[in-house]
Copies of this chain bind each other. A is one copy, B any other.
Amino acid sequence: MNIADQTFPAADSANEDRAQAIRDQLRDAIVDRRLAPGTKLSEGEVGTLFDVSRTVARAALQMLTFEGLVRTERNRGAFVANPSPEEARQVFASRRLIEPGIATAAAGRMTADHVAAFKAQLDEEGRFIAERGPNARRSEIKASGDFHLLLASVAGNAILQRFMEELVARSSLVIALYGRSGVSSCGHSEHMNILEALENGNSERASALMLHHIDHIEADLDLRVRSGPALRQALEF
């Protein structure tokens, strides 16, 4: 698997923390499903791939463990998280609680620049939906998440923004695992409606639309336990 292919020779901010850079690349890979849930991420392999020692690879994996994207078992190693339906429900319950509030906060802080950023974001999102390549779906999930992250950044609360980063990343995993095929295109129009409410400073409407939007995303999931849950756990698949 070639995760670390695209080396950023110039753009790579040289002196910044290498562990953080590795975490970012791994997170992208996990969220994009280039790394399937359950995949083992051994310290040595990660270190070799990114050309660092196990020490820094380990630090990156520890960060991802905190974010809930990786699960580590003592003396066994780190694995891409494989969220259970229950975990998935909790992720969306958390989002239902937090995101309407974020939308409310953002509605009061929208500037012209923000609107432009959202427009660009939604354009890109639309392009990915139109596209029909093999990884169109991946890009679509990613772009959809980026909309919510952009919103969180506008809301202006760094703590909530970090919470949302975690929730969006975990949502992407959940959607990739439990999502049914193609209803997600309706999410695009919902994003546009939310933006419209934000532009008008209609915080109440933005908040309500956001709540419905999250409900729709979750409703598109199939969270029934497949086969015997005990068996699935035992086999780790």
Chain A residues packing against B (C-beta within 8 Å): 15, 17, 55, 59, 62-63, 66, 68, 74, 87, 90-91, 93-94, 97-98, 101-102, 105, 157-160, 163, 167, 170
Contact = CB atoms under 8 A, between A and B. Distances in A.
Chain A interface, DSSP helix/strand/loop, else mixed = helix
A223 to B, nearest CB: 15
Nearest to A89: B157
A157 B94 contact: yes
B74 A17 contact: yes
B159 A91 contact: yes
Nearest first, the 10 closest Cβ-Cβ pairs linking A and B are: A97-B101, A90-B157, A94-B159, A66-B66, A90-B159, A94-B160, A93-B157, A163-B163, A90-B158, A97-B98
A122 to B, nearest CB: 25
Contacts of A68: 159
Given A66-B66, A90-B160, 11 more contacts: A17-B74, A63-B66, A90-B157, A93-B105, A93-B157, A94-B157, A94-B159, A94-B163, A97-B97, A97-B102, A159-B170
A42 B74 CA distance: 26
A163 B105 CA distance: 19
Contacts of A55: 55
15 contacts: A15-B74, A17-B74, A62-B63, A63-B66, A68-B159, A87-B159, A90-B158, A90-B160, A91-B159, A94-B159, A94-B160, A97-B97, A97-B101, A97-B160, A98-B98
Nearest to A19: B62
Contacts of A15: 74
A87 B156 CA distance: 11
A5 B18 CA distance: 36
A232 B98 CA distance: 33
Contacts of A90: 157-160
Contacts of A97: 97-98, 101-102, 160
A159 to B, nearest CB: 5
